[in-house]
Amino acid sequence: MRILVAGGRNEADFIIKKFKEEKHQITVVNQDVDYCKYLSKENHVIVYNGDPTLVSVLNEAGIQQADLVVALCTKDEDNFVICEVASKVFNIPRIICTVTNPKNVDVFHSLGIRSVVSSADFLVQTIQAEVNFENVVKSLALEQDKIAMLEIKLNSPDLAIIGKTLAQLENTRLYTIACIYRKTQVVIPSGNTEIKYGDKLFVVTTYPDKDAVVRYIQKKVPKEREQ
C-alpha cells in the first residue's frame, strides 16, 4: 500500500518504522528541515520538506498515488485541512488523523471525517486498563525478586479456570496455588478443590514466570465462533 504521512514527530517516527516493517511504500511530508534530514538517513523513505497543509506541497509529494493519508500535525485545524484537501481535492479513499483536543473527535466525525484518533483518549484508556489490572492482581516479590507471591481476584465469570479442580490445571510446574480466600473463609486447597467465581487466589511462582501465570489464570473461555 502507498501511504503518505503528513506532519508529526515521535509518533510519525514510530508509525513509519511499523509501516516499513510491513513493506508499505511510505512518503513523508514534514515542515521541519532537521527532522526531514534525520528521516531520510534513518528509514529509507521518500521525504518532502514543506507545509503538509498546502495543496501544492502535497501535489508535489505525489499524494494522488496514495492509498492512505495519515495526518499527524499538532494543530487540529491543520489535520482538518489535510483531511479536506486529501478527500475533496485528491479523492484519497482512506484518511486517518490525530487530534490534540479530545473534544474534536466528535467535531471531526460531524464534519464527515471518520477515522479520528485522540492520543489523550488512548492515554486515558491505557491508564484505566492499568488501574483495573492493578486492582485485580497484587504481587509481592520475595528473596531479591526471585519468588513472586500473587493475589488474583477472579472477578469475571467467564474465566477458563473457573469450575476446574486444581488437579485439572495446566502449567502447574510454573506455580502453586497456595491458598484460596473464598467469601470470608481461608481454604488450603488440595488436588480436588474446585476453583469458583469470586475466589481470591494466592499463587506462588518464580518472578520471571509471573506474567505468564497471570495471563493463564485470567484467560477467558474462548467465545464460540459465529457461523
Q: Which residues would be at the binding site for another protein (CB under 8 A)?
A: 53-56, 75-78, 80-81, 84-85, 88-89, 101, 103-104, 107, 110-112
87 versus 139: smaller Cβ distance to another protein: 87
Collapse the DSSP code of 141 into the 3-class scheme (helix H, G, I; strand E, B; otherwise coil) and give the result.
strand
- CA–CA distance, 145 with 75 (Å, rounded to integer): 45
Order the strands of the 185-187 sheet from edge to edge: 137-142, 147-153, 200-206, 175-182, 185-187
Q: How far is the CB of 25 from another protein (least distance, A)?
A: 25
- Residues near 107 by Cβ (< 8 Å), separated by ≥ 6? none
Indicate the residue among 96 and 203 with the shorter CB distance to another protein.
96
Nearer to another protein, 101 or 168 (CB): 101
Q: How far is the CB of 96 from another protein (least distance, A)?
A: 18
3-state SS, residue 112: coil
Based on CB atoms, which residue is closest to another protein, 61 or 152? 61
* Least distance in angstroms from the C-beta of 164 to another protein: 53
Q: Provide, rounded to whole angstroms, the least separation between the CB of residue 13 and another protein.
A: 24
For another protein, the closer CB: 60 or 211:
60
Q: From residue 180, how far is each of 107, 155, 193, 211 by CA, in Å?
A: 50, 14, 10, 20
Element (H, E) at 46: strand 46-49
Q: Is 57 helix (H, G, I), strand (E, B) or coil?
A: helix
User: Smallest distance, Å, CB 50 to another protein?
Assistant: 11
